[in-house]
Amino acid sequence: MSEQMELLEKRWRSLCDVFLPVVHPGQPWRMSRPVTGSDPAQGWKLHISATILTACDVLSIVGPILRRCDALYKAPASILELRRINTGLYYGYSQVGKFITIYPQRDEDAVRHAEELDRATQDLLCPRVPFDRALRDGSCISYRYGAFRPLQVGGDHDEDPERPLMIRAPDGSLMPDERTRDAAVPSWAEDPFLQLDDPVRSQPSGLTPLKTTYRAYEAISQRGKGGVYKAINLSFSPAQHCVIKEGRMDGETDWDGTDGFQRIRNEKRILERLLSFGVPVAQVVDYFTVGRTNYLVLESVEGASLHSMITGTRRLSIHEALLYGAELAKILGDIHNSGVVWRDCKPLNIIVDEAHHLRPLDFEGACLEHEAPAQPWGTFGYTPPEWLKDVESRHLEAEDLYALGATLRHIFSGRPPDSDAKLPPIGSLRRGIPPEIRSIIASLTDTLPDSRPAATVVADVFYSSLGNSVLRQHPAGD
């Protein structure tokens, strides 16, 4: 745990003792007070958004306001839990940004609280809550109509967390409490927040490339930092497929302040450098900004992920594994020769295209070798043992080389690595792997960073082994 994280967690616990004293063991939330019989079962929820860096400031500002009116509200039990919420991976995309949830007793209370809280937090940074309505553009306050606690069909309260939340319409019928686009205000409800005078909300967004040039038709992924979408580029005739990567300001803000917006801007910079060195990454088609979000449009690389190929029903032959291993090592060597460190080499980030060649993807966390970002980046199982022990003295290329070794182990064995530093020898996972390949993989996953061979050396060993395997299969004179 970083020193900054420890300090924020300590401050958070102190604030919780004052403003969120009600703890439910085993639950990730703390409450301002117990629920009473006068608290309604449904109504206009308010959400206050925050990053992990602004959360303590937000609670210190809004806590006294909410305590003064005896409001019922909840917030995460820790800053680390807020980080999990804001990724959109652990609790679902619809929960991104929901730092503090307030349950007003009446509509007029909701409107009054929203106005006051908006004024108090207007200078703070915050991620957008995906399916809520924002009180105004850039506000930390958003709202939606929904259930405050579960209901059974009979109307009794039900504490079963697996039961879908329901809300009751004015005619008494029950309907699902959906957290989807355009569901923040039910068709039968009148939005009480529209009475607020906010000319920004009513301004048309205007024409943007997302409306005139590109049509996204499928979400590959959606999370706090931004989504990845399959799209059509209408500037060509016929239209061409492309991929759009989205980066949101204050989305998944990390301990060093880096957010989704900065990561997409960084990926554009890295890809352009790699392309200039002939690395077979996706071509950059376009880059633009709309409001607080930037967009990187990339060539659509057709094919299957290497991960899907090595974890399928048919295991790769030794020869196929040697071919892919040789090509991957060469690609990583070219990346390093360009002065770039990938920092996320793994089978999921490698496409086997229609010509059966490898195309590396996802360079949001990549950097130039001399930059050495303060925050580690990578995927557990492909990160080296020193990654969790020492982030002050970094060996960035060596981290890539460990990831290469872990990926090669995955290619040959078909088994994804775990985070255990004591890896079993690759020969114990599969027979028939040439001894020189077993040796070079063991060197790549050595616990000492300086013992890991350069990617170009690994490529030479693989290509040599491929030549030897051909000779073994077809000896001279046959």
Checking if the pLDDT of 478 tops 70, the result is: no
* Residue 180: HSE in the Cβ half-sphere, 13 Å Cα cutoff: 4
Q: Return the percentage of the chain with pLDDT > 90, whole number.
A: 74
Q: What is the pTM of this model?
A: 0.88
Query: What residues form DSSP beta bridges with 181?
Result: none
Tokens of 117: 């809280």
pLDDT, tens digit, for every residue of 430-453? Answer: 999 999 999 999 999 999 999 999
**pLDDT averaged over every residue in the chain:** 90
CATH superfamily of 304-473: Transferase(Phosphotransferase) domain 1 (1.10.510.10)
SS3 142: strand
Locate the domains of the chain by residue range: 3-196, 209-299, 304-473
Query: Nearest to residue 98, comparing CAs of 115, 110, 112, 84?
Result: 84
DSSP string, 287-299: EEEETTEEEEEEE
Which range has the worst mean pLDDT, 196-210, 212-226, 270-284, 399-413?
196-210
Which listed CATH number (3.30.200.20, 3.30.2010.10, 3.40.50.300, 3.50.50.60) goes with 209-299? 3.30.200.20
Query: What residues form DSSP beta bridges with 47?
Result: 101, 142
User: Class of the 3-196 domain?
Assistant: alpha beta
Which range has the worst mean pLDDT, 141-150, 196-205, 289-298, 311-320?
196-205
Checking if the pLDDT of 98 tops 80, the result is: yes
Which range has the worst mean pLDDT, 194-198, 238-242, 246-250, 292-296?
194-198
Name, in order, each residue with C-beta under 8 angstroms of 350's C-beta and a sequence gap of 6 or more.
Answer: 305, 306, 307, 328, 358, 359, 360, 361, 407
Cα separations in angstroms, 42 against 82, 107, 177: 24, 11, 10
Checking if the pLDDT of 391 tops 60, the result is: no
SS3 366: coil
What single-letter amino acid sits at 88? G
Tokens of 15: 């604030």
DSSP string, 57-81: HHHHHHHHHHHHTT--EEEESSHHH
**How sure is the predictor about 393, in pLDDT bands with cuts at 50, 70 and 90?**
low
pLDDT of amino acid 31:
97
pLDDT of amino acid 1:
47
Q: Rounded mean pLDDT of 170-176? A: 92
Query: What residues form DSSP beta bridges with 293?
Result: 248, 290
Checking if the pLDDT of 75 tops 70, the result is: yes
**How sure is the predictor about 332, in pLDDT bands with cuts at 50, 70 and 90?**
very high
